[in-house]
Amino acid sequence: MSAHHRLLLVNGPNLNLLGTREPEVYGTATLADVERLTTETARELGFDVRAVQSNHEGVLIDAIHAARVDCAGIVINPGGLTHTSVALRDALTGVALPFAEVHISDVYAREEFRHFSYLDDVAAVRVVGQGVEGYATAVRRLIDLL
């Protein structure tokens, strides 16, 4: 499949714990469920997905850099890095691929520090508070832009 028909799915720190971590906030879907939903949604629209999850910022940045050569866009849930990482922002703007920022919970209904995102002003698409289904929304909206 060509670069024009692939998305990179990036899940940041602690998202490997989906389904068991604070289910009252994040629900019971697992990371595997998220990856399956994202892949199936993209496939319906003629796109392939490469998925990466890491608790290490540098691994995520390396994956974003690699996407330059074979992806048309990025769907990212940066987890806690949303509120702290200038480096992640720089990687995303540096590769110049449109990206969708996804948050499972409604960050605006949570602690004050979660209201700020280093990515929101550079994201092509932003989906907040739709639960895991937000990944499918993000894929559809991002592919519409592509």
In-domain check, residue 117: yes
pLDDT at 26: 78
105 marked ligand binding residue:
yes
pLDDT at 21: 80
103 is catalytic: yes
Please state the domain count of the chain.
Answer: 1
pLDDT at 3: 57
In-domain check, residue 146: no
In-domain check, residue 40: yes
> What residues make up the domain containing 95?
3-136
Q: How far apart are CA 101 and CA 28, in angstroms?
A: 21
In-domain check, residue 49: yes
3-state secondary structure of 25: helix
Report pTM.
Answer: 0.95
Q: What is the mean pLDDT of each run of 10 residues along the chain (146 residues)?
A: 82 94 83 98 98 98 98 98 97 98 92 94 97 97 98
CATH number of the domain residue 80 falls in: 3.40.50.9100
pLDDT at 25: 76
In-domain check, residue 143: no
In-domain check, residue 35: yes
83 marked ligand binding residue:
yes
pLDDT at 4: 73
> Is residue 62 packed enough to be buried (19+ CB in 10 Å), middle (13-18) or exposed (0-12)?
middle
77 marked ligand binding residue:
yes
- Are 142 and 99 a contacting pair, CB within 8 Å? yes
In-domain check, residue 144: no
Question: Which position among 4, 56, 103, 108 bears the catalytic label?
Answer: 103
Q: How far apart are CA 133 and CA 121, in angstroms?
A: 22
CA-only gyration radius of the chain, Å = 14
> Is residue 66 packed enough to be buried (19+ CB in 10 Å), middle (13-18) or exposed (0-12)?
middle
- Residue environment code for 113-146, b if the CB has 16+ CB neighbours within 10 A, otherwise e: ebeebbbeeebbbbbbebebebbbebbbebbeee
56 is catalytic: no
